[in-house]
Amino acid sequence: MSAVRKKSEAQLHLDDEMVKIIDKAMLETFSSFMGFNPILKHVERSDKNISDRFEISGIIAFIQDKVEGTLAIRFRQESVLRLLSRVYGDELSVVDNRVIGGVAELANVIHGIAKEDLNLQGYHYQMCLPVVIIGENHVVVNALSGQKLIMNYDLDGDEAIVELVLHKR
């Protein structure tokens, strides 16, 4: 039996502790993969759906027996092309399978780090597969929950946001 008490009944909050967990995951991911430290510029909790400016989103679920949610990392097209060009070592100019795979993998790795931190606290989240949404000014709508945590990042001159939604099942 796990030494850590299972917190299946606990309500996860979009609090400062959650901000720290996501920020640590962003830092580890971008510093290792791209060689710079992302800067968290702004945090807000809001029930609004952000549509403007973002054209590609990597989305991955958090699943547990009592609490579930989604994490989305969202980019403008020009930003994600610049960022992933660093990884691939050649200049990307269109959103192709390499870009889609890159965004999916970024979401996957950020989720994996955050999930580990949550599970060390006893939450027992499971691994999920990422999906990528592409489209000008698209909206990520979480049908079952109101408030979301929105974290705005400066990624070495480019912008991205992380949106996190959690709710009881």
Partner 1 sequence: MSKQLRILLVDDFEMIRSLLKQALKQLGYTDLTEAVDGLDALDKISKAKEAGQPFDLVFLDWNMPKMTGIEVVQKCKADENFKNIPFIMITAEREQKSVVTALKAGVSDYVIKPFSPRQLASKIERILTSASAA
Residues contributing to the site for partner 1 (CB under 8 A): 28-29, 31-33, 84, 87-89, 97-98, 101-102, 104-105, 108-109, 111-113, 115-116, 119, 127, 129
CB nearer partner 1, residue 108 or residue 145: 108
Shortest CB 137 distance to partner 1, Å: 25
Q: How far apart are CA 22 and CA 20, in angstroms?
A: 6
Tokens of 38: 């992302």
- Is 77 in contact with 95 (CB distance < 8 Å)? yes
Cα-based distances in Å from 122 to 4, 22, 116, 158: 5, 17, 10, 35
CB nearer partner 1, residue 46 or residue 88: 88
> What residues have CB less than 8 Å from 120, skipping those under 6 apart?
4
CB nearer partner 1, residue 38 or residue 150: 38
Shortest CB 129 distance to partner 1, Å: 7
CB nearer partner 1, residue 40 or residue 53: 40
Shortest CB 88 distance to partner 1, Å: 5
Shortest CB 132 distance to partner 1, Å: 11
Other Cβ atoms less than 10 A from the Cβ of 159: the count is: 16
